[in-house]
Every structure is written in structure tokens, then in C-alpha cells.
Structure 1
Amino acid sequence: MNFDSTSSQDEVHRRGIRLNAPQFLMQTLQVVFVGLTLGTERTVLPTLASDFGVSKGAFLWLASFVIAFGFVKGLVNFAAGTMADRIGRKRVLLLGWLAALPIPFLFLYAQSWGWVVIANVFLGISQGLAWSVTVISMVDLARTEQRGLAVGINEFGGYAAMGIAGLATGILAATYGPRIALFGFSLGVILLAALTTLWFVRETHGFAHAESRAHREGRHDGPKARIPQTRTEEPGAWEIFLLVSFRHPSLRALSQAGVINKVADTLVWILFPLYLHQRGLGLVDIGWVTGVYAAVWGASQLWSGPLSDRIGRKWLIAWGLWLVALGVLGVLLLDGLALWLTSAVVMGIGMAMLYPNIIAAVNDISDPRWRGASLGAYRYWRDTGYAIGGLVLGGVAQLTDHVTPAFWVTLALLLLSGAWVAFGSEETHPRINPSN
């Protein structure tokens, strides 16, 4: 490509949230749909386990729907990042919504808990494709100094919607019955999401190419990030996976933090409803606790993401993990709806401090050429945390025949994970810790 052609392409693909507001808002709408789809399960399903033949105390079988979701979503996250680099973001997003179509019907006609597990396999495929690509696309559109804000808006949209869906399905289930509530709500969301993707979403891959060219040609303005050297000039997906997972100390620390934050979210997803139900709360009140947790998590990312653009990522991530641990402790030691809601707020703020900023940190030190693969590798580990959390927490609860020990295990893991980030990684923000 000649210089004039390259310059013309780069002018078309100028980055900036305000410059690309229509598509940025459309990607935000898509992640809202993703959160609504995921939130349909947060309140109703765990309390219905006995109706599907899950005996009391069979915590591992109960956790199987989250274990299946985590393993599948983790693998698909990795594939989605590579696919997004190769075939484009929009196609991957549309495939994600097509994969979600069987879910409402499996909820409606489920004959056993196994049907719920199968539904969550499809949910894992859909979420792995759809949510992954919205993050990548929104980062494509944003300038370097806007990454924390872009990811914060993305995660706000998803998790606020998840909280709203958890509360809405709890109310609808109390009015119309669980199956009808899950079926109607999820089918409406999935169809609307697929149609808006088809008609209104535009491809953003060209923005990543333009940014990568600017880096290679020395035209990138601003401080240079500490992008690690790869062993080959055009690294493949496996090389990037090993780099993110094991070879680079900061990326390794960020990956383990992603795992542990999902272990904590698994606790909320599976065992919070059971624990609160055992303590006397009904479906609607449980929906308020889990909904407030998700909504605060989502809304707080509107300030936590931009804050990391100003002060850096590392210590927000570490303190976020420790704050989630404090919230878990509060749920255990306090009693009553008001105090449990307060603990949910604390956990939500902690999640907001760590969640978008881990993604922003991975973005900071990823070359735009392999950004999709890098994010896919991180998101593989992060969402495999659901499966790890389901196995570990479900196993602990089953061995002890009580849910409380799983809370203590989660608390310990959160404290250790925060220490790993604090003392085992570098600050990744290029303005605060630029490359020499």
C-alpha cells in the first residue's frame, strides 16, 4: 500500500470515543443485551434446583451449570479473540447471538437439571463470542488514554443490565412462573440483539490496523507502552496464549486475578441465593441483593475505569480484590437484608475497581496486531474461573455439607490474589510507567 493510500485509511479510522460516538453507543447497546441474557439466570435458577431433581447437599451437581458455562466460555473467549483478528468483529458478534437462540427453549422445556447444563453450554458459547468482541471493538474505537473509560462503559453496560435482569426475572417469576419468565425475557432480548447487530453494527477491525501501523512507523503520539517482545515477528495464537498465561510476569499476575474474581462471582451466582434463602429471604429479596451487587459493580465502573486512566491500574486492581474480600466477610458476619445489601454494595465497588482495569491493563501492553488474541487469552483464564470456582466452592460445600466454608475459601483466595498483583506485577499505564 502506498503512503497516500495508507494516510487515507488512517484518516478514515481516526480513534476517539466522541469521533465514533454512534458506533460506540451501538457496541454499548450490544453489551447491555449480553448482560440481560446472562442476568436471566442470576436469581431464579439456583433456587429451582430441587424442582429439577437436584437433591439437597448435591452442591457439585448444582454447580455443574456454572462449571459448564465457565469451561465453554473460557475456551470460546480465546477462540473469539483470534477469530475477531482474522474474520472481523461484527461476524463474531452475530455468531454469538445465533448461538444463544436455543437457550430460551431449553429453559421452557427442561425436564431435568441436565437441560439447564446444556443451556449453559450455549450460553457460554454466546457470551464468549459476543461479550469478547464488544470489548475489543470499543477499545478499537477509543484513543489510548480512553481505554479505561471505554472498558468501564462496556462493563457498566453489561453488569448493570445483568443486575436489572436478575431483579426483573425474580419479579416476573413470582408473577408468571419461573419457566415463562426465563423463556419470554431471554428470547426477546436475544432476537432484538441479533437484529440490531445485523442492521446497525459496523466493523471496527480497520481501527486496530491503523493503530498498529502508527506504532510500527513511529507516528504514535504519546508515551510508549511496555509491550513485551514476542519470539516471532507475527506471533500465532499459541505464542500469545503462553505469553499472557505464563511468560510475562505482569500478564501472568493479571490472568490469575481474573480467575479469582470469577471465583468470587461464582460464589454470588451459586451460593448467595442458597445462603440467603436458608437465612429466610424470599426470591424478590434475594434478587435485590444480587441485583444491587451487579448494578453497583456496573455503575461504579463509570468512575473506576476513568480513574485508572489518571492514577494507574495496578493498585486499583489490588485494592479491588481486597474490598471484595471485605464484602464477603460482611455477608458472613452480618445479619439482615439492609446489612447484606450493604455488603453487596462493598463487593460491587471492589469488583468495579478491579474488573475493567485488568482488561485495560492487558490492553496497555498488547500490540494492536495481536490485541484480540491477547484479550482472548486473558478472558480464557478469567472465565475459566467460573469453572474453577464451581468445582472448588461446590466441592468444599459438598464435603462440609454447608455453604459457609466456601465463603471463607473465597475470602482467602481474594486476599492472596490481591497480594500477587500488588507485589508481583508492574504498572502498565504507558503515561505512568512508559517504556524506556
Structure 2
Amino acid sequence: MKTTAPPVLGLRHNLAQFILLVAVNALVGGTLGQERTVLPLLATREFHLDLYTSALTYILAFGVSKAAMNYFAGTLSDRLGRKPVLVAGWLVAIPVPLMLIVGPQWGWIVAANVLLGISQGLTWSTTVVMKMDLVGPRQRGLAMGFNEAAGYLGVAVTALATGWIAAQYGLRPGPFLLGAAYIALGLGLSVLTVRETHHHARLEAAQHVSARATAHGGLTTGEVFRLTSFTDRSLSSVSQAGMVNNLNDGLAWGLFPVLFASAGLSLGQIGVLAAVYPAVWGAGQLVTGAASDRYGRKWLIAGGMVVQAVALGMVAAGHGFGIWLAAAVLLGAGTAMVYPTLLAAIGDVAHPAWRARSVGIYRLWRDGGFAVGALLSGVLADLYGLPTAIAAVAVLTALSGVVVAVRMRGTDHAAA
């Protein structure tokens, strides 16, 4: 009778599954990237939406549905296991490319983004938790760096590719056929080759020695929500920074292509700018995730928010491809400092018994930033113009960095 080998924590012992999950998350990011260049232009050129607030409804729908599903993904993965939640996320994504291709009214596009948000909440959240499960506490920042690098390099490559496809063949259907291929491949890999990792989390929980975290090992979901959102200084600081980070990412997704097009940039140039920001963001996380393991989380997060604010100010004040390219590089660098570090900081503080729920709650707040960003930037752009909207978000981003500097405790991989 064949016996299953007991789980072992660590990157080296779980390298094959870790690399597989990195590849799966690249496909998750690519599924999102099919929209980054094309959809803002589709709103204005094919659906003739004049108000920025109306055009950004798809980001609002995406942000609300993804944020809500992030919350449930953590709870479901604790109850049902990680793999079923991952597979369910891919199944939800299947209709999305078809709806984007054939949708005759803007409501179809909004509905497709509700499904895309649900899918991204399930798939991306689960790949985060599964990598945390596999590597254990010592290499958590490195693991999150690889996870988020894969996802956002997937976004970047696909944004660049869809910009080229749209320039050659039109805004529909070509760019979204690439997204359909990603979904088919991601579903196949998840069903056939990904293995369950929940038992790794149970092993880490059994080995957990932090007195503070062990005392809170049996928390209810409501108690975890309060800790993550409000009462724990580190967890709540991370949650607000994540929300503001994705607020400005929603602004970049929805309004940057429109700003660039209004300045006379070509579709190819817009595609490059839409790709450079997530490309630098993605690649940079390979360095910043590991650096946060070595040097701590707090000042990478606070500094990254300030760098993002400077980049947004450059976009608001600048004009032309050169200055906007420099700003996109800087915005990507600042986001790379923040993104994997926030996730690793959650893993530092949260007990393994409720870590998946805490990650889900953090991602609820973080991806709620898409919805807040769509509303705030859309209203400000309609009232005062695009540069003012971008400048206002730059100020908000800088203030978020100050909150982290003042409120968050210093953490590293040992400070659970």
C-alpha cells in the first residue's frame, strides 16, 4: 500500500510545486492583463462614454467583486482546502473573454468584470496562501516576491501584447483571445498538476512557538477581521496601505491610457506605458521580497508609498512620452517595494491557524481600493480634470506612507 510522504516546510523541499504555482499565477496575472491597455480605450472609442465616472464602472465592479471574494477565499480555503478554491476561480473566468468580445452594451463589460473580480479573488488569493504554506516562515518575503512578480509580469507582458494586437487587428476580438488561452491553460494546470498544501499549514501551526500568536490561535473570523482591519497596529497599517496602493493602481489602469491618448500618443506607445509600470513592479519584487526578509518590512512599505506618490506627481505635472515613461518606471519601483512586503508582513503577524483568513481580509481592503479609486478619481477627473485627480491621489498615497511610518511595528520573519 502506497503511503504519502509527510509534508516538509521550505522552498528547497517544495521547489517543483512552488515553481508550478509561480507559473499558474503568471497566467492569473495575464488574465487581468488582457484588459489593461484595451478596455479604457474601448470605453471611449466603441461605447462613447464621455464621463470618466461612467467609464470606470468596470473597475468599480471588478474591485468590489474581487475584494468580497478575497474575504471568502481565505475562509473557504481553510474549510475546503486550497486546490478546490483555485480550480473554482478558473471555472468562473471561462465566460469573461467571450463577454468582452461580443458584448453589445457597456453592461456586458461591467458584468464580465464582476466575474473577472470573483475569479481573481479566488485564484490569486489561493496562490498566495499556497506559497506561504509551502515555504514556512523563513522565506516568506522571497515567496511573496516570486508570487507577485509572476502575476504582474504576466500583466505587463499581456498589456504589451494586447496593445500590439489591438494596433494591428482592432480592439476586439484579438486581445481577448489571448485571455481565453490563459484561462484554458491555467485551469488545466490547476486540475491536473497542482497539489493541496493545507497540510503544510497545519504542520507550521503545530510547530508555531510565538507566545503572542499561539495565544490567539483559536480566533473566530470576526475577531480576525477586527485584528486585521483595526486593532492590531501592524495588520491594520498594512491593510490601509494595501487599499491606497490599489487605489492608485485603479487610477493608473482606468485613466492613464485616456490621458496618454488625449495627449496624442499612439496605441503602441500607450501599450508600452501600460506595460512598463507592471513590468518594473513585477521584476522588482524578485529583489524587494527577499530584501524584506533580511531588512524588515516597515521601511520598505513606507518608502515605497512615498516613491509612488512622487511618480504620480510626475504623471500629473508632466507631458509627453519621455516623462511619462520615467514616471511609469518609478511607479513600478515604488509598488515593487510595497506589494510583496505587505503580504509578508501579514504572514509575520497572523497565526498559521487563521493566516488564510487574515490574508483574505487584507486583500478585501486592498482590492477594495480599486473601487474607491474608480469612484474618487472618476469624480475628481469629471469635476477638475485628469491632472488634478492624479495629483490628489498622489497626496493620499504619501499620507498612507506616513501612517505606516508612525503606526506599524517593525517586523521581520521572526516577529510573528
TM-score of the aligned structures, taking structure 1 as reference length: 0.92
- Spell out, residue by residue over 1:372-421, the C-alpha distance to the aligned partner (whole angstroms, 9 max, x if none): 10000000000000001111111111222x21111111111011000000
Q: Check whether the contact 1:228–1:366 (CA below 8 A) recurs between aligned residues.
A: no
Q: How many residues align?
A: 414
2:115 aligned partner, one-letter code: F
Post-superposition offset of 1:116: 0.7
Q: Check whether the contact 2:34–2:176 (CA below 8 A) recurs between aligned residues.
A: no
Select the residue among 364, 380, 394 that pairs with 1:411: 394
Select the residue among 298, 304, 322 that pairs with 2:306: 322
Select the residue among 38, 43, 54 that pairs with 2:37: 43
- Spell out, residue by residue over 1:187-217, the C-alpha distance to the aligned partner (whole angstroms, 9 max, x if none): 11101110111110000000000000112xx
1:45 aligned partner, one-letter code: L
Post-superposition offset of 1:99: 0.3
- The answer on 1:310 being equivalent to 2:294 is yes
Classify 1:116/1:206 alpha carbon distance in 2 versus 1 (closer, same or farther; 3 Å). Answer: same
- The answer on 1:227 being equivalent to 2:227 is no
Aligned counterparts of 1:362 and 1:428: Cα–Cα separation in 2: 10
Select the residue among 183, 190, 196 that pairs with 2:189: 196
Q: Check whether the contact 1:104–1:182 (CA below 8 A) recurs between aligned residues.
A: no
1:227 aligned partner, one-letter code: A
Aligned counterparts of 1:61 and 1:15: Cα–Cα separation in 2: 48
- The answer on 1:93 being equivalent to 2:86 is yes
Classify 1:390/1:316 alpha carbon distance in 2 versus 1 (closer, same or farther; 3 Å). Answer: same
- Spell out, residue by residue over 1:205-252, the C-alpha distance to the aligned partner (whole angstroms, 9 max, x if none): 00000000112xx5xxxxx4863854xx63222221121011212211
Select the residue among 110, 122, 127 that pairs with 1:117: 110
Q: Check whether the contact 1:33–1:193 (CA below 8 A) recurs between aligned residues.
A: yes
**Identical counterparts, % of pairs:** 43
Q: Check whether the contact 2:136–2:204 (CA below 8 A) recurs between aligned residues.
A: no
2:382 aligned partner: 398
Post-superposition offset of 1:297: 0.1
2:148 aligned partner: 155
- The answer on 1:17 being equivalent to 2:3 is no
Stretches of structure 1 that go unaligned for 5 or more consecutive residues are: 1-7, 219-223
1:422 aligned partner: 405
Classify 1:405/1:381 alpha carbon distance in 2 versus 1 (closer, same or farther; 3 Å). Answer: same
2:24 aligned partner: 30
Q: How does 1:230-309 map to 2 (within 5 A)?
A: 230=216, 234-309=218-293
Q: How does 1:43-192 map to 2 (within 5 A)?
A: 43-56=37-50, 58-192=51-185
Aligned counterparts of 1:43 and 1:211: Cα–Cα separation in 2: 41
Select the residue among 297, 320, 339 that pairs with 1:336: 320
Classify 1:354/1:312 alpha carbon distance in 2 versus 1 (closer, same or farther; 3 Å). Answer: same
Post-superposition offset of 1:334: 2.9
Aligned counterparts of 1:79 and 1:229: Cα–Cα separation in 2: 24
2:183 aligned partner, one-letter code: I
Post-superposition offset of 1:143: 2.8
Q: Check whether the contact 1:28–1:157 (CA below 8 A) recurs between aligned residues.
A: yes
- Spell out, residue by residue over 1:8-36, the C-alpha distance to the aligned partner (whole angstroms, 9 max, x if none): 99x72111111111100110011000010
C-alpha RMSD of matched pairs (Å):
1.6
Classify 1:272/1:225 alpha carbon distance in 2 versus 1 (closer, same or farther; 3 Å). Answer: farther
SS in 2 for 1:369: coil
Aligned counterparts of 2:141 and 2:8: Cα–Cα separation in 1: 18
Q: Check whether the contact 1:70–1:386 (CA below 8 A) recurs between aligned residues.
A: yes
Post-superposition offset of 1:359: 0.5
Q: Check whether the contact 2:301–2:342 (CA below 8 A) recurs between aligned residues.
A: yes
Post-superposition offset of 1:60: 1.0
Post-superposition offset of 1:111: 0.7
Aligned counterparts of 1:378 and 1:195: Cα–Cα separation in 2: 29
Aligned counterparts of 2:124 and 2:77: Cα–Cα separation in 1: 12
SS in 2 for 1:245: helix
1:5 aligned partner: none
Stretches of structure 2 that go unaligned for 5 or more consecutive residues are: none
